[in-house]
Every structure is written in structure tokens, then in C-alpha cells.
């Protein structure tokens, strides 16, 4: 493959970010402190946002930051800090038996992803001058052809919100 066919800067960027994400993901499961694990998860999720930027999908990238880092991770940290987060390393965080189930599940996930991606896209390449999809087109798609799935998702979220309120109420 000729160098002129490749987006060199993008590829270098991809591998740097991917390496950071892999390190972060490993530290999430190996670290000895719940809050540290959550913070490493922040590294992984912001790495995903950076990858979306490399794919010129800025809307998805910003949504990733807003939803996962601004809301989900804050709730994670909020929950752990309210209940059990102690300073320094914890001893009983790792369950020795978890490897028996964890490793097969991880391998299965990886295999599913690889097969699905390979089956779906194979060696397909996007043309270099592929049109950039801007936010307006994304919203036109969501509120046009995909309106029904969007509504369905909204109802699921609404049901989850109402369920959470019902569970939390004492009376």
C-alpha cells in the first residue's frame, strides 16, 4: 500500500488513542480502588470520543462526552462515593473466581465483534472524498426515516425513569 493512499496523521492518531484506551481498559479491571477504576473508565470513554472525532463524526463525539463523561460517569462516582469508596487500595475488590467466567466472556465478546465486523464490512474501504455527514443530516435522519425507533427508545427511557422513581419512593 502506498503512503499516499493512507491518511498518515489519522492512522498515527488512531493507534496512539487506541493504545491509551487499551491501557485504560486493562487498568479498569486490575486497579485496586473503585474510584480509580471509574477514572480509568473515563479515559477509555474519552478515547472513544476522540476516535469519533477522527472519523469526522463530531456530533457523536460530543454526545459521547456529554452522556458518558458528563452524566453516566458522574453518576457512577456519585454512587460509589455515597456508599463505599475508601481512600487507598482495597483488598477484597478482586474476586479470584471471576477469572474463570471473565476470560471466556471477554473472548466471546471479542470473537463476536470481530466476526460481525468482518462479515459486515470485510475489506470495504470508504473513498477518500467521502462526504462528511453533518449534524443537520443526522437530525434529518433521526426525525425522518428513523422516527419510530427514536420514539421506541424514548419510551424505554421514560419507563426506566418512572421505574427508578417508583423504586426510590418509600410511600
Interacting residue ranges for another protein, rule: CB under 8 A: 35-36, 39, 42, 58-59, 62-63, 65-66, 69-71, 73-75, 77-78, 81-82, 85, 87-89, 134-135
Q: Shortest gap between Cβ of 66 and another protein (angstroms)? A: 4
Q: Shortest gap between Cβ of 69 and another protein (angstroms)? A: 6
**Which DSSP symbol is given to 4?**
G
Residue 134 is inside which H or E element, if any? none
Question: Position of cell 468482518?
Answer: 118
Question: Position of cell 462526504?
Answer: 131
- The contacts of residue 14 (CB under 8 Å, 6+ apart) are 51, 54
Q: Shortest gap between Cβ of 76 and another protein (angstroms)? A: 10
The long-range contacts involving 130-134, CB below 8 angstroms and separated by at least 24 positions, are 132/56, 133/56, 133/57, 134/59
For residues 25 and 35, which CB has a smaller minimum distance to another protein in the complex?
A: 35
Q: Shortest gap between Cβ of 93 and another protein (angstroms)? A: 14
For residues 81 and 109, which CB has a smaller minimum distance to another protein in the complex?
A: 81
For residues 20 and 63, which CB has a smaller minimum distance to another protein in the complex?
A: 63
Distance CA 89, CA 106 (A): 25
Q: Shortest gap between Cβ of 149 and another protein (angstroms)? A: 21
8 Å CB contact between 53 and 23: no
Distance CA 101, CA 132 (A): 42
For residues 114 and 147, which CB has a smaller minimum distance to another protein in the complex?
A: 147
For residues 2 and 87, which CB has a smaller minimum distance to another protein in the complex?
A: 87
Amino acid at each position: 500500500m502506498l503512503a499516499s493512499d493512507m491518511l498518515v496523521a489519522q492512522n498515527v492518531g488512531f493507534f496512539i488513542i487506541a493504545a491509551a484506551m487499551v491501557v485504560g481498559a486493562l487498568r479498569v479491571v486490575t486497579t485496586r480502588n473503585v474510584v480509580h477504576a471509574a477514572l480509568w473508565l473515563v479515559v477509555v470513554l474519552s478515547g472513544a470520543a476522540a476516535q469519533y472525532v477522527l472519523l469526522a463524526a463530531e456530533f457523536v463525539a460530543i454526545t459521547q462526552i456529554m452522556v458518558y463523561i458528563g452524566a453516566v460517569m458522574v453518576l457512577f462516582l456519585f454512587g460509589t462515593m455515597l456508599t463505599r469508596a475508601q481512600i487507598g487500595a482495597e483488598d477484597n475488590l478482586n474476586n479470584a473466581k471471576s477469572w474463570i467466567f471473565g476470560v471466556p466472556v471477554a473472548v466471546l465478546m471479542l470473537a463476536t465483534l470481530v466476526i460481525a465486523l468482518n462479515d459486515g464490512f470485510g475489506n470495504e474501504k470508504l473513498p477518500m472524498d467521502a462526504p462528511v455527514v453533518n449534524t443537520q443530516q443526522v437530525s434529518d435522519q433521526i426525525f425522518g426515516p428513523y422516527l419510530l425507533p427514536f420514539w421506541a427508545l424514548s419510551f424505554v427511557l421514560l419507563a426506566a425513569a418512572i421505574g427508578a422513581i417508583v423504586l426510590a419512593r418509600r410511600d
